[in-house]
Structure formats: structure tokens, C-alpha cells
């Protein structure tokens, strides 16, 4: 495998593809080790710093990081509360997390997310495969505006992880 190259700025560089009628694949490269990306994705204090928009007010950020454990995020954005929850199915630190995800505004639309982190020479490619039960749910997810929010969140995650690298004891 060819080593990914460090680049000055990866902001807005996540790529969304549709591998099948029921799947969304999100790919984003980070110039940081997989362990730091994993930590940012699974530690409530860090998740609150990158997930969603800066203007959101966190109401709930719970992570029970174990197979069978549950997670839940609830954020207030202006006058609207938005919640998501799921259950961890598989955890292989720092390479893979499989979990369900339910947008609480559409409880019948549970998806199965498989996040993989592949590190080469300190550069990590994060791939998240989102598998929906049907094309209608996948299309609803895509048409929700998720991509613009995801780009903002991943850019914010990059800044959080940069801070972890500079001061790992502070995290």
C-alpha cells in the first residue's frame, strides 16, 4: 500500500460515495495516528468538542464503550433538539468500531455503522460505512444535509486531535 501524504490542510476533504442502494461510505484522511482519532471518536469530553456545530448546546453525550454498551448524543441547535443513539456491536481498538445509529427523529431508520481506521506512516484513513435497511432510508440520510455538517465536524475533529498530539496529558 502506498503511504498517504501529509498535506497542509484537509478541511472539507471527506468524500461521500454510495457503494450500493443501501450504503453510504464516508472517507476522510487525518495526518494523525489512529489511536488519537479513535480517542476523539469515543471519549465524551472530546466528542463534545468536535461533533456537530460550534453553536450547538450539548444536552447529553454518553458513551459506554464496550460491546453491548450504548451511546447517545443530544444537542440543542437554536430551538430544536436533535438526538442520536445506538449500541456498540464490535470494538477493536484503535482499528474498528461497529455500532448501530438511530436518529431519534426517525426511530425506524436504524443504520449499522462500521468505522475503520487504517494508519500508514502516522496518517490515518477513516472509513465509515453506513448500512441502511432500504434505499429510502439511505436516500433520506443523504438528503438530510448530513454531508455539510459532517465536513464541519471532521474539520473540528482534526483541530481536537492536533491538540491531543501537542498535549496528550491534557486529554
Strands (E), 52-147: 57-63, 70-77, 80-92, 96-103, 111-120, 123-131
| pLDDT for the residue 167 | 62
Three-state SS at 123: strand
Specify the residue for cell string 464503550.
Answer: 65
Q: How many CA atoms lie within 13 A of 81 on its CB side?
A: 8
| pLDDT for the residue 146 | 86
- CA-wise closest residue to 47 among 171, 170, 130: 171
Q: Are 124 and 41 in contact (CB under 8 A)?
A: no
| pLDDT for the residue 65 | 98
> Which three three-digit cell numbers place residue 124?
490515518
Q: Are 10 and 126 in contact (CB under 8 A)?
A: no
| pLDDT for the residue 52 | 86
| pLDDT for the residue 78 | 86
- CA-wise closest residue to 103 among 69, 134, 133, 74: 74
Query: Angle 124-15-81 (CA atoms, 0-180°, nearest 5)?
Result: 95
| pLDDT for the residue 13 | 80
Tens-level pLDDT at each residue, the chain (171 residues): 445 565 556 666 889 999 999 999 999 999 999 999 999 999 999 999 999 888 889 999 999 999 999 999 999 988 899 999 999 999 999 999 999 999 998 888 899 999 999 999 999 999 999 999 999 999 999 998 888 889 999 999 999 999 887 764 544
The residues, ordered by sequence, that sit 6+ positions from 168 with a Cβ below 8 Å of its Cβ are none
In CATH terms, is domain 15-52+92-166 a member of 1.10.3720.10? no
Sketch the domain layout of the chain as residue ranges: 15-52+92-166
Amino acid at each position: 500500500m502506498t503511504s498517504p501524504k501529509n498535506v497542509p490542510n484537509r478541511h472539507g476533504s471527506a468524500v461521500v460515495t454510495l457503494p450500493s442502494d443501501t450504503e453510504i461510505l464516508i472517507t476522510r484522511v487525518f495526518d494523525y495516528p489512529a489511536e488519537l482519532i479513535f480517542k476523539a471518536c469515543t471519549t465524551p469530553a472530546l466528542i463534545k468538542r468536535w461533533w456537530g456545530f460550534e453553536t450547538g448546546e450539548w444536552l447529553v453525550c454518553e458513551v459506554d464503550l464496550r460491546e453491548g454498551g450504548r451511546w447517545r448524543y443530544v444537542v440543542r441547535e437554536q430551538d430544536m433538539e436533535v438526538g442520536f443513539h445506538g449500541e456498540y456491536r464490535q470494538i477493536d481498538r484503535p482499528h474498528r468500531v461497529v455500532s448501530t445509529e438511530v436518529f431519534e427523529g426517525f426511530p425506524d431508520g436504524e443504520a449499522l455503522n462500521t468505522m475503520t481506521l487504517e494508519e500508514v506512516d502516522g496518517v490515518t484513513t477513516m472509513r465509515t460505512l453506513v448500512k441502511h435497511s432500504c434505499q429510502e432510508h439511505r436516500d433520506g440520510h443523504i438528503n438530510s444535509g448530513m454531508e455539510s455538517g459532517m465536513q464541519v465536524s471532521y474539520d473540528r475533529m482534526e483541530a481536537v486531535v492536533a491538540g491531543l498530539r501537542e498535549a496528550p496529558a491534557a486529554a
